[in-house]
Amino acid sequence: MNRSHLHAAGSGFALLEVLVTLVIVLIGLLGAAGVLVFSHQSSVEAYQRTQALILIEDMVDRLSANRRVADCYAMTDAASGAPHLGTGYAGTPVCGSGTPEQQATALLDLQQWSDLLTGAAESDAGGDAVGAMIGARGCISFDPGTNAYTLTVTWQGLSDTAAPPDEVRCAFGLYGNEAQRRAISVSIQFASL
């Protein structure tokens, strides 16, 4: 074999090595991009869950501070999960107890919590509310059988997971696919004084 044939065969082999290396690098980069997307999605889901917990704690504090008119806060029918806060609440609570001042505090608490669910706590440079979860809704119901108030915050997740239990009806059907509805519920009871 002459020298030019050996050089041409060697050049072809080097080009093949470069192509194989590029394919391997591209597969690695695609894998890294997939991990990055999954990581970002998990981060957003964790942020939304944290925000929901903060909002639940906020309303538990408000309800506990104004417990003499706790019935004013129970505005959601547990069976239907409606009405819910987070849509600009303008209702009037049905109160069977307390002073007019306590009832006014309950109404203000419900309006403020509804605003927080829409993201009013944080805004971008344009003034748009951006501080809450995607499609956040809040429900407060009362179960006379257990004498317990149930506070629930729901929102839309980014991907399908297990749907909340059937007894958690807050914002049921609002997000289309129930596997994208996220929910956190807390039940509290007040001692009779």
Annotated domain spans of the chain: 3-189
In whole angstroms, how far apart are CA 107 and each of 90, 155, 166, 191? 9, 23, 29, 23
Query: Which pLDDT belongs to residue 7?
Result: 55
In whole angstroms, how far apart are CA 120 and each of 48, 113, 128, 130, 154? 15, 9, 8, 7, 17
Flag whether pLDDT at 121 surpasses 90.
no
pLDDT single digits (tens) 19-65: 888 999 999 888 888 888 878 888 888 899 999 999 999 999 999 99
Query: Which pLDDT belongs to residue 117?
Result: 93
pLDDT single digits (tens) 145-165: 899 999 999 999 988 888 898
Its pTM stands at 0.79
Query: Which pLDDT belongs to residue 11?
Result: 60
Task: Find the mean pLDDT for residues 10-22.
Answer: 79
Flag whether pLDDT at 2 surpasses 60.
no
Query: Which pLDDT belongs to residue 40?
Result: 80
Flag whether pLDDT at 193 surpasses 60.
no
Sign of CA dihedral 159, 170, 121, 59: negative
Task: Find the mean pLDDT for residues 106-123.
Answer: 87
pLDDT top residue among 97 and 152 = 152
Task: Find the mean pLDDT for residues 5-29.
Answer: 77
Flag whether pLDDT at 6 surpasses 60.
no
